């Protein structure tokens, strides 16, 4: 099929992760193959191929014998200016009938989940297919067996790490609680104690900062598997972004549509967490599950169901899961946004006098549970051990060593623009809306503007005078500051103060 060959020209169009092929409307391939805008096409370059969505170009931007690719597709194919690509019809999607069955409410078995996940990892799903799958699984629409099948398929379709140690630990927070950046404290404590903790973290999905975003303010996180292995072998632990290590790559692709849709599913949540841990070679994991009216998990019943799901699936896949339900009624620490959260983390590690107590206590409690997963650590002694490691400065030393091994430590930046929201009346702080305060931080530019976010000045139960500062918006650009401010002004109850 020599005449279906086209010459690549780089237009540099970034569509986020969606693979898009651009072709001239009068191109002979379009005509002979019957392609039109929105067609799914298979693009082959050498021995690599992917499936892309076609956009048809009517202008002279592309000649009739030329084509271009969106940036992510360009990189995935290892394309060069002038590369020859072959464009053809993709094979019918293997898993499309399984997807349809799931959409219509049927349960899927092991083989069907494997088909779906394989198609996702091979880039065969369009954003529409991914959105349909995420929606079909939303809420509680997957049972425990399906969750198990999905988790297994996700592990099997990515890389998998192994370590020399019989015990490899990890921790994870199910999220929804702004500022809950305990990972950056737990990892150095646990690694300083001699355990292996190969931690991969995500960037923000719907929140103002992911652990990877916050860590990146202080050290590089974009390590590949080889670099990650070197860090863990020398320091016992790492805190790297999961996106470059291809552990459970299907998960990353599902998350790319969950972010703009702003909803997810219980089954995918469990599969997402456990597949990453199993692929990272972990044998034990502590899961922090904050519960509160505006946290991700809203009720004790929901937490119980989710814990059971984690434990059942974990047991079936040979990973020991310890779920710790915690208070999710308000943000943790003071900062919300990458740099502001990093500042709080550093204050705890450096044992500064004004370090946020709640962040310190949460981190110590989780570290204790992680430590006690080791057969070397006696039950009941984890808490004292964790505190000693933190208070002696060994955790701080270890954190610096990990940062150096990852590429070098740097101090977080401070945003140039701030605006403070004050209380309209005198009383007691009775509620903080986690979702809305996170929204303010996002409008202010977090996580992409690293120094942007919100600094919270009050805690639940605190007495507040009229005119006292409730929180401060930090921004890097005036437009973002104004959006955040306008939203804050329209929602005066984000931090609720009532006279009692």
Q: Could you say which of 227, 282, 326, 449 contacts its own copies (CB under 8 A)?
A: 449
Contacts of 91 (CB under 8 A, 6+ apart): 42
Which is the catalytic residue, given 213, 251, 264, 455? Answer: 264
* CA angle, 293 then 299 then 304, to 5°: 150
Q: Distance between CA atoms of 336 and 347, rounded to whole angstroms?
A: 15
Question: Rounded to an integer, what is the distance from CA 406 to the centroid of its chain?
Answer: 19
479 binds its own copies (CB under 8 A): yes
Q: How far is the CB of 152 from its own copies (least distance, A)?
A: 24
Q: How far is the CB of 276 from its own copies (least distance, A)?
A: 23
Nearest to 244 by CA among 195, 278, 289, 203: 203
Q: Distance between CA atoms of 255 and 259, rounded to whole angstroms?
A: 6
Q: Which is nearer to its own copies, 163 or 487 (CB)?
A: 487
Q: Which is nearer to its own copies, 92 or 318 (CB)?
A: 92
492 binds its own copies (CB under 8 A): no
Q: Could you say which of 26, 46, 48, 61 contacts its own copies (CB under 8 A)?
A: 61
Please provide the DSSP assignment of 280-307 as one string.
TT-SEEEEEEEE-TTSSB-SHHHHHHHH
Q: Could you say which of 56, 120, 238, 415 contacts its own copies (CB under 8 A)?
A: 56
Q: Distance between CA atoms of 235 and 214, rounded to whole angstroms?
A: 20
Q: How far is the CB of 128 from its own copies (least distance, A)?
A: 5
Active site (annotated) includes residue 119: no
Q: Could you say which of 2, 47, 105, 499 contacts its own copies (CB under 8 A)?
A: 105
12 binds its own copies (CB under 8 A): yes
301: exposed, middle or buried (C-beta count within 10 Å: 0-12, 13-18, 19+)?
Answer: exposed
146 binds its own copies (CB under 8 A): no
3-class state of residue 200 by DSSP: strand
Let me know: does 309 contact 270? Beta carbons within 8 Å: yes
Let me know: does 147 contact 117? Beta carbons within 8 Å: no
Q: Could you say which of 44, 126, 312, 320 contacts its own copies (CB under 8 A)?
A: 126
Q: Which is nearer to its own copies, 66 or 372 (CB)?
A: 66
Please provide the DSSP assignment of 86-146 as one string.
EEEPPPPPTTHHHHHHHHTT----HHHHHHHHHHHHTT---HHHHHHHHHHTTBT-S-HHH
194, 228, 330, 389 from 349: Cα distances, Å: 18, 23, 22, 10
Q: Could you say which of 26, 82, 111, 263 contacts its own copies (CB under 8 A)?
A: 263
59 binds its own copies (CB under 8 A): yes
Q: Which is nearer to its own copies, 10 or 160 (CB)?
A: 10
Q: Which is nearer to its own copies, 43 or 368 (CB)?
A: 43
261 binds its own copies (CB under 8 A): yes
103 binds its own copies (CB under 8 A): yes
3-class state of residue 357 by DSSP: helix
10 binds its own copies (CB under 8 A): yes
257 binds its own copies (CB under 8 A): yes
Please provide the DSSP assignment of 33-44 as one string.
HT--TT-EEEEE
Q: Could you say which of 43, 134, 373, 415 contacts its own copies (CB under 8 A)?
A: 134
131 binds its own copies (CB under 8 A): yes
Which are the catalytic amino acids?
A: 264
Can you give the binding site for its own copies, defined by CB under 8 A? Answer: 1, 4, 10-16, 22, 25, 31-34, 36-38, 40, 55-59, 61, 70-71, 89, 96, 100, 103-105, 126-129, 131-132, 134-136, 138-139, 141, 257, 260-263, 443, 445, 448-449, 477-480, 483
């Amino acid at each position: 099929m020599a005449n279906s060959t086209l010459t690549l020209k780089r237009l540099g169009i970034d569509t986020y992760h969606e693979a898009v092929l651009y072709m001239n409307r009068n191109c002979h391939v379009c005509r002979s193959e019957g392609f039109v805008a929105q067609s799914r096409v298979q693009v082959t370059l050498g021995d690599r191929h992917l499936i892309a969505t076609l956009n048809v170009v009517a202008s002279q931007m592309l000649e009739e014998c030329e084509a271009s690719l969106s940036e992510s597709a360009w990189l995935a194919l290892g394309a060069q200016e002038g590369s020859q690509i072959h464009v053809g019809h993709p094979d019918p999607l293997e898993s499309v009938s399984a997807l349809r069955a799931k959409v219509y409410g049927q349960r899927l078995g092991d083989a069907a989940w494997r088909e779906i996940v394989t198609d996702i990892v091979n880039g065969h799903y369009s954003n529409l297919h991914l959105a349909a799958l995420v929606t079909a699984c939303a809420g509680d629409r997957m049972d425990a067996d399906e969750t198990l099948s999905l988790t297994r398929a996700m592990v099997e379709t990515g890389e998998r790490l192994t370590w020399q140690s019989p015990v490899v630990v990890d921790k994870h927070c199910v999220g929804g609680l702004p500022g809950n950046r305990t990972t950056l404290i737990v990892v150095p404590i646990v690694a300083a104690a001699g355990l292996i903790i190969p931690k991969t973290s995500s960037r923000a999905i719907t929140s103002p900062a992911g652990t990877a975003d916050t860590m990146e303010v202080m050290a590089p996180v974009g390590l590949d598997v080889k670099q990650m292995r070197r860090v863990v072998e020398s320091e016992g632990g790492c805190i790297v972004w999961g996106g470059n290590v291809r552990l459970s790559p299907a998960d990353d692709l599902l998350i790319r549509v969950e972010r703009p849709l702003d909803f997810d599913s219980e089954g995918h949540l469990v599969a997402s967490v456990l597949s990453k841990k199993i692929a990272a070679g972990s044998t034990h994991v502590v899961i922090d599950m904050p519960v509160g009216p505006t946290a991700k998990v809203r009720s004790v019943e929901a937490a119980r169901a989710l814990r059971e799901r984690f434990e059942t699936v974990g047991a079936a896949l040979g990973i020991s899961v310890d779920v710790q339900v915690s208070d999710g009624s308000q943000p943790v620490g003071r900062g919300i946004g990458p740099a502001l959260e990093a500042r709080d983390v550093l204050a705890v590690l450096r044992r500064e006098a004004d370090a946020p107590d709640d962040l310190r206590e949460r981190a110590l409690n989780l570290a204790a549970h992680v430590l006690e997963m080791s057969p070397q650590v006696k039950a009941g002694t984890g808490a004292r051990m964790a505190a000693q490691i933190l208070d002696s400065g060994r955790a701080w030393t270890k954190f610096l060593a990990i940062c150096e091994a990852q590429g070098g430590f740097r101090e977080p930046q401070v945003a140039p623009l701030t605006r403070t929201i004050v209380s309209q009346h005198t009383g007691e702080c009775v509620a903080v809306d986690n979702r809305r305060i996170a929204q303010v931080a996002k409008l202010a530019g977090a996580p992409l503007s690293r120094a942007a976010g919100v600094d919270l000045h009050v805690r639940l139960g605190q007495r507040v005078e009229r005119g006292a500062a409730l929180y401060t918006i930090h921004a890097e650009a005036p437009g973002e500051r104004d959006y955040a401010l306008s939203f804050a002004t329209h929602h005066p109850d984000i931090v609720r103060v009532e006279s009692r």
